[in-house]
Structure 1
Amino acid sequence: MKTIGVLTSGGDSPGMNAAFRAVVRTAFTEGFEIVAFRHGFKGLIEGNFKKVGPTDVSNIIQRGGTILKSARCDEFRTEEGRAKAAEVLKDEGIENLIIIGGDGSFQGGTLLANEHDISVIGIPATIDNDLVGSDETIGYDTALNTAMDAIDKIRDTADAHDRLFLVEVMGRDAGFIALETGIAGGAELILLPESMTNIDEVRSSLNDVLKEQRRSSLVVVAEGDETGGALKLSEKLRDDFSKYEMRVCILGHVQRGGGPTARDRVLASRLGAAAVKAIKDGHSKVMVGIVNNRIKITPLKMTFGKRKDINFELLELSKTLR
């Protein structure tokens, strides 16, 4: 009986547990044994694992975070660290490794596979939705809904006091969360890493909105926007909008938490099952994703180090609707 190892790595995202559950139960159905590693690559190097079966993943599909835990592991960045990890896998007869994570995790997995001839399959799980090879990543929809709920509440108090709110959402290198939550939350302005931010244009746009509507205004800023984020933007704008009470709200890691939405649970279940089937079909060094609602297999080396394009039609729509 062949054995599959599985771990979660990188930043946690809602739906990781659902993906783990799908991996375990699909593997059992297909005749594989499953070994689960705790604390990501750190646990892999240290041999922190246990064999799991279908009952071990009961009642976890609705839970946020990851029951397998995640951790940064500088040792795995070294050849020596990856050699230790490979030795653990070989000692336990683990021929295949499923990594549930993002681009950094897949980069590490690719190095491990290339250096030690280990079969590695990636499942895209990141709230940033920035991985090439999948229209949507696990955790993104939940993060969107969490941010939108917060923005709706902020809008209420902004209107009550005629305040100008700058709301910062996650997105160091990608503006997917900012773009869609900005549109869904009715933001007057959305600032993204993918588009140039001219501070004079920001001032002009806000002046137009506030003059025409004579009420509060809400700006959604991705943390990676070139203005430096919401706090630095507020410093640049405060004198120009002194008659409005300007407030900054940084949503931060609240966007990572909470139980996954139905959409994320279904996505994670599909991708977890697809990862096991990819192993059964002999694939290695690939990521399983969803493109046009169909499973797509992409070489792992194509999923990191590249920028996934946002929907620029949505960006133009946001300008029309503000």
Structure 2
Amino acid sequence: SELRSRPVKVQGPLMYFCAGFGGLCTVLPLVWPRYAFWMVWGAALGVPEVINYRSGAPSLLRDLETGRPGRLLRLLLGGLWAGIAWESLNYWARCKWIYTVPGMEDWKLFEMPFLGFLGFPALSLAAFAFYALVCHALRGGRHWEAMDSQPARAMPRLRFAFAASAAIMFSATTFVALTNVNVESRRPLLAELEGMDGGAVAQLRTVGIRTPEQLHRAVETDGVAAFCRRTRLAAEQIDRAYLHAALALHKGMGPRNAKLLLAAGVTRVVDLVLANPQDLYGRLLAVAAQYGFPPPRLAEVKVWIRAARVAGSIRR
């Protein structure tokens, strides 16, 4: 049987709160993104949920008003479970999200700050509210659950085509803009490592070395001298590439930032253990200016140092 609870009065303060909070979640992240970034997940919840309630679309507010909290609780639990599954997979992934939330660098489960897990249940509510709004407005009331599907006035085809085109253009533009900001580094390639020219890369491939990970692992196992005999490459060349790879693979640093660290006098991950974040950041700013590279953020430097202190070696 369906879970029942005491009906909640929606009309009045609760409705105004949802609309007002949704509006703030839409505006404040654009005005103060550094501190209001977390509110962006509420932008797709507050206002759409109010519209759903008033238009007759599936609504969590209406569920509470009629004493049926089951869907709300399922979404909250499912969102939390999805978040835990996502972060566990993300933690072991080769290319992954590394979060640099101000003030929470040392309070994490996997890569996510503890408080960040509260965002996943909220995200599931926002996903439901926004999807219900889209289905009601664009799909003529057809929803994923049969009990929610009900005839509604579908948007005229021309207006639908315009809305769909605008949504696609907005999403594509946002994706490109976010990628330029959020992607701080990419998986390193052999050709990007110090000392690795085209001939060296080709020679390494003949012995099965195709990635910086394989190069680092082989040198760790064989030693520089034995590896050089096997590949017929100079020891200085291999040593430079090995040191560069070790740093580039550490906590998503990437080859560009690793090159800055090498130029700043940090040649091994263990050198980061005793480093002062602010001091190292200042040195990296100076080196980046010389190379013409965009410098890493202080939050990134703290992530590298923290990971080195925890693991004492490369941590991905």
Q: TM-score, normalised by structure 2?
A: 0.23
More helix by share: 2
More strand by share: 1
Name which structure has the greater RCO, CA cutoff 8 Å, separation 6+.
1
Q: Which has the larger radius of gyration?
A: 2
